[in-house]
Copies of this chain bind each other. A is one copy, B any other.
Amino acid sequence: MARKRAPTFDDQRAAILNHAAGLFARQGYFATSMNDVARECGMSKPSLYHYYRDKYALLLSIVDGHVTRLVDLVRPASAVPAVPERQLERLVVTFLEAYADAQSSHRVLTEDVKFLKEEDAALVLQKQRLVVRAFANAITLVRPALRSAQLESIVTMLLFGMLNWMFTWVRPGGALTHSDLAPIVCELFLNGVTGMNLPPAKDTKSPTAQQSSAHKRTSRTAKSL
């Protein structure tokens, strides 16, 4: 049997990051000690510090690495032209496939961003906005009237809610996978969006004064994402 090649520096860094992501996701960032991480990686703490300067570097690498992967994944999926409905479906499928392989990282992204320094958080938020915009664009192509009703961002965030909430109830090893859920989410969302009662899409220069009564007060879109 061939001896397994000694892991390189980069391999080790990747392995450590995976272990740390799992621990952070399960226990939270502050509840996880560097001793925990080292033990999980099967190395001493000083060895761990050889690969990462400090605990914060682990957090930042996990979060930034994951969101960067999402951006790189979503960009090509948006680039290839398709029927609007298929375009959006492809985005959802791509996104959920990424989830399946990176559940821990995604959980760290959504729960531990608050521990990032201002500057780092801004960087991550910027990349998240790219992902959100890709979805918002695809959604608007499916239902242009959403834009004039200023419901574009809101509806996009509702879709992200369905997707991002999955990590709380879809068990990693269970029979039900993220990919199984993609068509269900797509069908529910597409039916929901195309069925909404909205004023007809118009020239953006003359926004209609009469909106569906249900949406009167949602005159401003959310600024947070």
Contact = CB atoms under 8 A, between A and B. Distances in A.
Contacts of A214: 183-184, 187
A28 interface: yes
A181 B154 contact: yes
Instruction: Give the bracket for the number of chain A residues in contact with chain B.
Output: 35 or more
A188 B174 CA distance: 29
B218 A169 contact: no
Interface stretch (A6-14, A38-46, A63-71, A108-116): A108-116
Interface SS of A by simple majority = helix
A93 to B, nearest CB: 12
A151 B215 CA distance: 29
Give 5 closest A-B pairs by Cβ, nearest first: A161-B165, A192-B192, A191-B195, A30-B30, A183-B214
B165 A185 contact: no
Contacts of A162: 158, 161-162, 165
A166 B161 contact: yes
A31 B161 contact: no
B188 A155 contact: yes
12 contacts: A26-B114, A31-B115, A111-B111, A154-B176, A161-B162, A161-B163, A170-B224, A171-B223, A174-B223, A176-B221, A177-B217, A187-B192
